[in-house]
């Protein structure tokens, strides 16, 4: 006859292992971080961006300093693992619409690998959302330099050009409205009444009476020429004032837009 033996075990105490202690092998550290990355990927696939982000950040934090590692094989694996987690962190930030944080994560990858297609593409996406169209265009162009058949980058570059064109048209309209407003104020300041009307003195009359020059009398037209030159000088001065005011308004607007964009990016 067979008998069944049942053991009952009780955990009395345990010592927590420091994964990154000096006594732990570097290959074991890499394996531990790889498991953390796999957990993060599961959360990412479930749409749980915050929990996935936390797992990826644990890996990049643990593998931030690798210069002192002696095991070259483990060091190589750790570098690849760290890069993958930085890219995944950028993907999480994009999902969470944290554009500036996404660019910073991509910059971590590009610091070691300037030609990383994924880092350039995701950085371009974030810069586009931040309204930094020129820098975003540069990123997508770099992607096409590395991978000329990248259809996603070509499509994003086309959308980016449309956004740049719309922004230019919007700024042109804004500056045009500003210029019209400044022009109307300047014209009101210099009214036609400020220009003296030429007069002709009639003998025997008590007061001088204004007279228009005859179109068929060339001599009369010559007499009014100096006055016309004075009016042209006033107009020239007005044009100069308008130009100065327009340039000033343009500089003030650029400064305001730059300040607004800097506040928005914080």
In a domain, 260, yes or no: yes
pLDDT digits (tens, 9 = 90+) for 174-221: 777 777 666 565 555 555 554 444 444 445 545 555 554 444 444 443
- pLDDT for 45 beyond 70: yes
How many whole angstroms separate alpha carbon 162 and alpha carbon 60?
37
In a domain, 154, yes or no: no
Give 86's pLDDT tier (boundaries 50, 70, 90): very high
Print the domain residue range for 38. Answer: 18-96
CATH number at residue 72: 1.25.40.10
pLDDT digits (tens, 9 = 90+) for 122-170: 999 999 999 999 899 999 999 999 999 999 999 999 888 887 777 777 7
Q: What is the pTM of this model?
A: 0.60
In a domain, 12, yes or no: no
User: 200: closest CA among 191, 208, 192?
Assistant: 208
Residue-averaged pLDDT of the chain: 77
How many whole angstroms separate alpha carbon 103 and alpha carbon 98?
9
In a domain, 103, yes or no: no
Of 46, 61, 96, which marks where a domain is finished?
A: 96
In a domain, 210, yes or no: no
Number of separate domains in the chain: 2
In a domain, 57, yes or no: yes
Of 72, 96, 120, which marks where a domain is finished?
A: 96
Higher local confidence (pLDDT), 67 or 104: 104
In a domain, 148, yes or no: no
Q: Quick one: pLDDT at residue 229?
A: 42
In a domain, 257, yes or no: yes
Q: Which residues contact 197 (CB under 8 A, 6 or more apart)?
A: 210
Of 78, 96, 114, which marks where a domain is finished?
A: 96
Q: What average pLDDT does the segment 235-262 reach?
A: 62
């Amino acid at each position: 006859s067979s008998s069944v033996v049942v053991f009952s075990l009780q955990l009395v105490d345990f010592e927590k292992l420091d994964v990154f202690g000096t006594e732990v092998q570097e290959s074991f550290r890499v394996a531990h971080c790889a498991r953390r990355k796999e957990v993060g990927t599961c959360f990412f696939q479930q749409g749980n961006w915050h929990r996935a982000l936390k797992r990826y950040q644990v890996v990049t934090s643990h593998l931030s300093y690798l210069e002192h590692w002696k095991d070259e094989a483990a060091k190589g694996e750790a570098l690849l693992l760290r890069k993958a987690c930085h890219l995944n962190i950028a993907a999480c930030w994009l999902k969470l619409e944290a554009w500036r944080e996404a660019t910073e994560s991509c910059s971590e990858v590009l610091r070691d690998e300037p030609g990383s297609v994924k880092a350039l593409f995701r950085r371009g996406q974030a810069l586009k959302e931040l309204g930094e169209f020129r820098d975003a265009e540069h990123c997508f162009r770099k992607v096409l330099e590395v991978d000329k058949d990248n259809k996603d980058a070509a499509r994003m570059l086309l959308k980016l050009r449309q956004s740049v064109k719309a922004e230019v048209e919007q700024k042109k309209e804004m500056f045009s409205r500003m210029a019209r407003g400044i022009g109307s104020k300047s014209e009101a300041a210099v009214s036609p009444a400020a220009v003296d009307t030429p007069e002709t003195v009639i003998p025997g009359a008590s007061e001088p009476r204004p007279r228009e020059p005859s179109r068929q009398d060339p001599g009369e037209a010559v007499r009014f020429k100096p006055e016309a030159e004075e009016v042209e000088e006033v107009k020239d001065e007005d044009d100069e004032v308008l130009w100065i005011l327009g340039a000033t308004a343009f500089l003030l607007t650029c400064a305001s837009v730059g300040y607004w964009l800097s506040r928005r990016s914080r």
